[in-house]
Structure 1
Amino acid sequence: MSVDLAHIRQVMAEADCLFNHAEVEAAIDRVATAINDELAERNPVVFCVMNGGLVFAGKLLPLLGFPLELSYLHATRYRNETRGGDLFWKAKPEIAFIDRDVLIVDDILDEGHTLAAIIDFCRHEGATAVHTAVLVDKRHQRKASPGLKADYVGLSCEDRYIFGYGMDYKGYWRNAAGIYAVKGL
């Protein structure tokens, strides 16, 4: 598959910056403080949801001042597209978490189908409690279930197609040092 790099660059050039680097870093600090206050004595297993949660987890974990076990899982609905499809498990958790608290770290809570499936999986596999941390929560009425909310939320944004800090546009710009909205999406 050939990628039109000129188009990818144009998307960034035309994008609206919703949150700059400093605003995102401050939000991550707030999330870390809340997690430290609530989970420090719970011996959690932390799962980073790949690939989107990688940047957020990488920034968040050094701010957590307690012992934890870390692993990853990879479930996706997007596969480098701009619209979600069926849930596809690329890698399930490899660390045992039976009778343990689990903290899921992901980039975004959009409609929530992926996050809801991961939460259900962890509960079904024996987690004592499942906590969720997302960098961004999109404001809209299309959540997978009406009560689906992340326990820890860095930022809230309008219902647009966003990228940066781990979130991508067609597989690109996960490395953007801010959170941007694609013009027209």
Structure 2
Amino acid sequence: MSIVRIKDKTFETSILEREIKQRVKELAQQLSKDLEGKNPLLLCVLNGSFIFAADLMREITIPCEISFVKLASYDGITSTEKVKEIIGLNTDLTGRTVVIVEDIVDTGRTMQQMLYSLSFHNPESIHICTLFVKPEKLIVNLDVEYAAFSIPNDFIVGYGLDFDQQGRGLKDIYTLKED
């Protein structure tokens, strides 16, 4: 296991890049099978899911499109429990199959807000695809159809996830070590 220091925090490797890539490929295969004939729109939630969304899209074998929205609910390593829409949707969703591509679902509040907002755009269906879900932290009842990993309620960085905008470029996932 390797250790990285980001600002005043220490993190250690918890999931290797090859494991992530394998799970992303498996999710893409499942999405390709389940949504065949649909031309889904991948709706990537920035900033954390951009690497996941790019790798996922490259592995999907059916025609699909991608668009981006940006929501914020974190301040450092703590959820603010308030979701702020920063960059809105600029794609017509009427009659579309939408796959929300998220980096991590923990409390579920961000996803709940997003589902609510998207419902006013008349999509045919909305699916949730996340790299990580924290089942013990969920306080909202969500149908997370596609999740690469279920993880404990730990703070993680790497593969697009950050700590105060740092660590996104790490290829592996690192978990915060208690000092």
Q: Same fold (TM over 0.5)?
A: yes
Q: Does 1:23 align with 2:22?
A: no
**1:21 and 1:177 in contact (8 A); partners too:** yes
What's the CA shift for 1:10?
6.2
23, 44, 47: which one pairs with 1:51?
47
After TM superposition, the score normalised by the length of structure 1 is 0.88
Is the CA contact (8 Å cut-off) linking 1:73 and 1:92 kept in structure 2?
A: yes
Residue 94 (structure 2) aligns with = 98
> How is 1:1-185 mapped onto 2 (pairs within 5 angstroms)?
8=6, 11=9, 14-79=10-75, 81-85=76-80, 86-140=82-136, 142-145=137-140, 147-184=141-178
Could you tell me how far apart the structure 2 residues matched to 1:63 and 1:93 are? 24
The answer as to whether partners of 1:123 and 1:129 remain within 8 angstroms in 2 is no
TM-score normalised per structure 2: 0.91
Higher strand proportion: 2
Q: Secondary structure at the match of 2:79?
A: coil
Contact 1:111 1:143 survives alignment (8 Å): yes
Structure 1 position 40, deviation (Å): 2.2
Does the 8 Å contact 2:112/2:142 carry over to 1?
yes
Deviation at 1:18, TM superposition (A): 1.5
- Following TM superposition, by how much is the alpha carbon of 1:173 offset from its aligned partner in structure 2, in angstroms? 0.4
Distance in 2 (alpha carbons) for counterparts of 1:9 and 1:17: 17
Whether the 8 Å CA contact 1:164–1:173 is kept in 2: the answer is yes
Paired-residue identity, %: 23
SS in 2 for 1:77: strand
In the TM superposition, structure 1's runs of 4+ consecutive aligned residues that sit over 6 Å from their partners are none
Amino acid aligned to 1:99:
G
Consecutive unaligned residues in structure 1, runs of 5 or more: 1-5
For structure 2, the 5+ residue unaligned runs are none
How many residues were matched structurally? Answer: 175
AA matched with 2:77: T
Q: Is the 8 A contact 1:47 1:93 kept in 2?
A: no
RMSD: 1.8
Question: CA separation of 1:107/1:39 partners in 2, compared to 1, >3 Å: closer, same or farther?
Answer: same
**Aligned equivalents of 2:93 and 2:7: distance in 1?**
42
Q: Which structure shows the higher helix fraction?
A: 1
Alpha-carbon distance between aligned partners in 2 of 1:112 and 1:84, rounded to the nearest angstrom: 11
Task: State the distance in 1 between where 2:5 and 2:132 align.
Answer: 25
The CA deviation at 1:16 is 2.5
Aligned mates of 2:173, 2:14 — CA distance in 1: 6
